[in-house]
């Protein structure tokens, strides 16, 4: 194969990834996933003596999807691969490099609806009360857990918060989410009180007169890591006897579900979670719907 033909394909892939980074503003981790998928697809094309996007067709893409399945990839991973490939072809059509998108007729692999693990209000209350707030680290942990549930944050958003991102007087937190999209989320009185107590007392003790821009710090001026937070969360879940699998996302799921169960608007929950597409938020309505069914059966005269 002439190297010029391979280089031409590589150049198109680089242009597409640059488009995702600059125009779409995708997060680095998301961009890395797209890159791996496209590079794997390019390798498949080269193995089948296809050196230009215009040479591909729907049947060839289906062959690739079958190869991924035979390699042991699950439906969710294959769906992500197809999304990456679709985006690549849409970009090529938009740039008038090819005339038609050969991936447009291929359906995504069927995914089973996985309902998130949700804690009850009582379980959340027990978990949030677990840290020993008489200790500096315990006060910090209590503030972190409370804020995670109060604002429905992702763990990466929580550990990367800066001191300036929290406005306790107004009662909100400014969050930089996926794709560098910023959102403002209100927080309740419990979170405000625990964060204020941590900032005024424990944070200063942990820093020992050093300075750090991060809200939640560990030793020195370093922020708590994602792995560090996972460990302390598991420790507190075990301490209060929770038998469910508790992850940082459990509190985010619980935040959304508890709001919907109490009548919150789905659109408002979408904004607070930072979901671009409301269909992502709608998974929580399945959880809330089960709750509503139980209420209907219990209280409706003909339930």
Residues 207 and 294 in one domain: yes
Q: Is pLDDT of 226 > 70?
A: yes
Q: Specify whether the CB–CB gap between 160 and 176 falls below 8 A.
A: yes
Cross-strand bridge partners of residue 184: 174
CATH code of residue 87: 1.10.150
The sign of the torsion formed by the CA atoms of 199, 205, 206, 207 equals positive
Within a domain: residue 106?
no
Residues 130 and 184 in one domain: yes
Select which of 140, 192, 194, 275 is catalytic: 275
Within a domain: residue 59?
yes
Token duo for residue 5: 């033909």
For this structure, is 181 an active site residue? no
Select which of 69, 80, 178, 234 is catalytic: 178
pLDDT in tens, 26-67: 777 888 889 999 999 999 999 998 888 888 888 889 889 888
Token duo for residue 110: 């069927």
For this structure, is 154 an active site residue? yes
How many CB atoms within 10 Å of residue 211? 7
Q: Is pLDDT of 289 > 70?
A: no
Long-range contacts of 1-7, Cβ-Cβ distance < 8 Å, separation of 24 or more: 1/46, 1/49, 1/51, 5/51, 5/52, 6/46, 6/51
Q: Is pLDDT of 111 > 60?
A: no
CATH code of residue 173: 1.10.443.10
Query: Which of 30-34, 68-72, 113-117, 151-155 has the least mean pLDDT?
Result: 113-117
Q: Is pLDDT of 198 > 90?
A: yes
Within a domain: residue 160?
yes
CA dist list (Å): 230 to 234, 237, 249: 6, 11, 10
Residues 89 and 235 in one domain: no
Work out how many domains the chain is built from and give that number.
2
pLDDT in tens, 96-110: 999 999 988 887 776
Q: Domain ends where: 59, 78, 94? A: 94
Q: Identify which of 121, 95, 69 has the alpha carbon closest to the alpha carbon of residue 11.
A: 95
Q: Report, as an integer, the average pLDDT of 202-211.
A: 90
Residues 265 and 171 in one domain: yes
Within a domain: residue 256?
yes
Cα separation of 246 and 155, whole Å? Answer: 13
Q: Specify whether the CB–CB gap between 224 and 159 falls below 8 A.
A: yes
Select which of 42, 64, 140, 154 is catalytic: 154
Residues 264 and 134 in one domain: yes
Query: Which of 28-32, 253-257, 286-290 has the least mean pLDDT?
Result: 286-290
Select which of 64, 78, 203, 252 is catalytic: 252
Residues 58 and 182 in one domain: no
Residue 239 pLDDT:
95
Residue 35 pLDDT:
92
3-state secondary structure of 109: coil
Residue 191 pLDDT:
92
For this structure, is 100 an active site residue? no
For tokens 């625990």, the residue is: 194
pLDDT in tens, 28-39: 788 888 999 999
Residues 125 and 267 in one domain: yes
For this structure, is 226 an active site residue? no
CA dist list (Å): 122 to 76, 119, 254: 33, 8, 11
Average predicted confidence (pLDDT) for the chain: 84
Select which of 181, 249, 293, 294 is catalytic: 249
For this structure, is 252 an active site residue? yes
Residue 143's pLDDT band, with cuts at 50, 70 and 90, is: very high
Q: Report, as an integer, the average pLDDT of 216-233.
A: 88
For this structure, is 284 an active site residue? yes
Within a domain: residue 201?
yes
pLDDT in tens, 151-161: 999 999 999 99
Q: Identify which of 248, 68, 222 has the alpha carbon closest to the alpha carbon of residue 156.
A: 248
């Amino acid at each position: 194969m002439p190297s010029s033909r391979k280089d031409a394909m590589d150049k198109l892939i680089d242009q597409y990834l640059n488009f995702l980074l600059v125009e779409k503003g995708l997060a680095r981790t998301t961009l890395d996933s797209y890159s791996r998928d496209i590079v794997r697809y390019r390798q498949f094309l080269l193995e089948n003596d296809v050196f230009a996007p215009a040479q591909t067709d729907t049947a060839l893409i289906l062959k690739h999807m079958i190869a991924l399945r035979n390699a042991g990839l699950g439906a969710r991973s294959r769906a992500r691969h197809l999304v990456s490939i679709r985006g690549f072809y849409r970009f090529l059509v938009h740039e008038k490099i090819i005339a038609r998108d050969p991936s447009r007729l291929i359906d995504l692999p069927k995914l089973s609806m996985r309902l998130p693990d949700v804690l009850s209000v009582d379980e959340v209350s027990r978990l949030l009360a677990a840290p020993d707030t008489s200790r500096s680290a315990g006060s910090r942990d209590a503030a972190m857990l409370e804020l995670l549930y109060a604002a429905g944050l992702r763990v990466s958003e929580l550990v990367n918060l800066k001191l300036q991102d929290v406005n306790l007087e107004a009662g909100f937190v400014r969050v930089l989410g996926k794709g560098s999209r910023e959102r403002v989320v209100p927080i309740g009185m419990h979170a405000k009180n625990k964060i204020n107590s941590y900032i005024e007392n424990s944070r200063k003790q942990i820093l020992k007169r050093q300075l750090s821009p991060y809200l939640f710090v560990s030793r020195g001026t370093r922020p708590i890591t994602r792995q560090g937070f996972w460990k302390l969360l598991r420790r507190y879940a075990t301490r209060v006897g929770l038998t469910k699998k508790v992850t940082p996302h459990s509190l985010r799921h619980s935040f959304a579900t508890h709001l919907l169960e109490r009548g919150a608007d789905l659109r408002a929950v979408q904004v607070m979670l930072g979901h671009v597409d409301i269909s992502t938020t709608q998974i929580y309505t399945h959880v809330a719907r089960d709750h509503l069914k139980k209420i209907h059966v219990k209280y409706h005269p003909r339930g």
